[in-house]
Structure 1
């Protein structure tokens, strides 16, 4: 298995093709130069950060963004993917809990108050630089949204690590509404609003239909992460002599419904297809009457779905699970524009409101 694990996924419904930013190579070089300037990071850490292809990830979300401004989001993504890998996913969870909690609170404080001294962890220096750069562009509301989004992410990660430490598997109903947060959905897109340079009116951003679209997009992307990272989970479990974590959609479905792995993967893809179909149907009703800043935000959410799929199947963080075994995992998948046969709400109470017929 350590010489090459292969996972094949059923076709995924997605009506929108992925888009790419024309300056991804420029963004990649600038990010590489930027993180290299922080001498407290090891060469292995730097190699893994470069291998995550954050220009490709964020370039697919905002393919038309101004390159200089998009650099901010790409640099943030580079640092936070490393934070996720090194502090949230790897190592014994019980021993990670204290250091992770300490680092997470320091990160949010530095983002909130950029002049806070970056003491305690090598990651805090680049976070402080990001916070200072963002402060030049972001409105007070955008900065507040960014900080609150990070707090939501870190709280959800602590919930996740609690399950990892206990060796328990959450219920599907809980996992479905929390996965958007453990995947840093709001934290990720909070930078897009800053890059765009226009503040989305609060009454629009918090409208029920827009909240539903936000949660749909973040959850779908996170569930897709679970699909194309499942090979990584299996590879790590095999190399460590353990069982796969119960913190992935495939494992939650497999264990809760007593399915085979193949059937759990198929059911996970079906769920993603239903979510995708609902997102685009609702987006098409909301977008025509949205303000320009909200339309841009909805477009970013729409690009996230095909972009995340396209990027995730190529990213080294899933093909090279520990940064030392290139091509250890290969995940194959295709997309289809044929809608799923069943577009009804899935039997998951915590997310059923996304199909509320009164949402407009």
Structure 2
């Protein structure tokens, strides 16, 4: 395991090699992933977004059809298109309004836009004084399509999931403005929200077409299973984006002291080297994956058909996100202008990690014996 900086002439300047990742779940892919990507590109271009240059390169490199196509590999393509279009739009929103450049220090602008997006998801016809904002126009189109597919309960779940996501993003803004790396205990339970975990999975219910009974979806064991899968995927995203963040920081005159990724937080809190922080992050992902598998076996026997499909999507999310993230241009081409500037390699192992909860109080309930 090593992090190596190389002169950026004709070869990638940054290579990140990760220790073995425990994930015995199979990877599947939707047969129409590329067609989904093409239609999503045409859709977002129609709103004047990602038409050319670096934004278009980054949009195409995100491979949203491949991302959602690994979560729902058997979904009807016409229904799955809704989620892929949303994914393209929200990655673009993240790049423009959340993570990078001056916008990453403007919570006021983000909060205003986020509030309008949520309201449009609740009521597509609401007059939100969009003022020609292409993000709001695209959201209104998505919301209208969603309302044609979903039940009132499903649509409320979508809107509520976005509120959770945007609250997490605003927490990240606070960390950046204070120029402070958060503690592991806070980051561990908030990362599923900052990564839009519930928002991502909320579309699966509309695509499947059947509503999951609240008594099942809100049951503690199912909530723990959801949080486990979403957190594992988000922590894996931290492994993919680690090299990207290093690459960008090396080209910034005044890099922030705020670190919002799992390896750096572990390294800061436990006085580890960067390599040891990466190893500790992979070890934690492995332990969470094992707990997901254990808890899944408790949930499935009594699950209804809609809940079983949801659990299957969670089971596809973890390995599918790994397969997608290791290849996605989002992480390999940090600024849209340097293809393969970052390469992350990851081996896999069938050896299970130790059982039992890690010493992180905010997520320890996932191991509650009463679940």
Band the TM-score falls in, shorter-chain normalisation: over 0.9
Superposition map of 1:181-330 within 5 A: 181-241=193-253, 242-243=255-256, 245-330=258-343
- Partner residue, 1:169: 181
Shift in Å at residue 243 of structure 1?
4.9
Shift in Å at residue 96 of structure 1?
2.0
- Partner residue, 2:147: 135
Q: Provide the rounded CA distance (Å) in 2 between the counterparts of 1:165 and 1:188.
A: 27
Shift in Å at residue 354 of structure 1?
0.3
1:100 aligns with 2:110: yes
Offset from partner CA, 1:294-346 (integer Å, 9 cap, x none): 00000000100000000001001101111111111100112222211x12210
Kindly tell me: are residues 204 and 274 of structure 1, through their superposed partners in 2, closer, same or farther at Cα, counting changes over 3 Å?
same
Name segments (4+ residues, structure 1) moved above 3 Å.
92-95
- Partner residue, 1:148: 160
Secondary structure at the aligned position of 2:106 is classed as helix
Contact 2:179 2:256 in 1 (8 A): no
Shift in Å at residue 117 of structure 1?
4.3
- Partner residue, 1:12: 21
1:157 aligns with 2:157: no
Which consecutive residues of structure 2, in runs of 5 or more, have no partner in the other structure?
none
Which is further off, 245-254 or 40-49?
Answer: 40-49
TM superposition score normalised by structure 1: 0.96
1:77 aligns with 2:90: no
Which consecutive residues of structure 1, in runs of 5 or more, have no partner in the other structure?
none
Q: Provide the rounded CA distance (Å) in 2 between the counterparts of 1:40 and 1:80.
A: 12
1:347 aligns with 2:356: no
CA RMSD of aligned residues (A): 1.4
Shift in Å at residue 42 of structure 1?
4.4
TM superposition score normalised by structure 2: 0.94
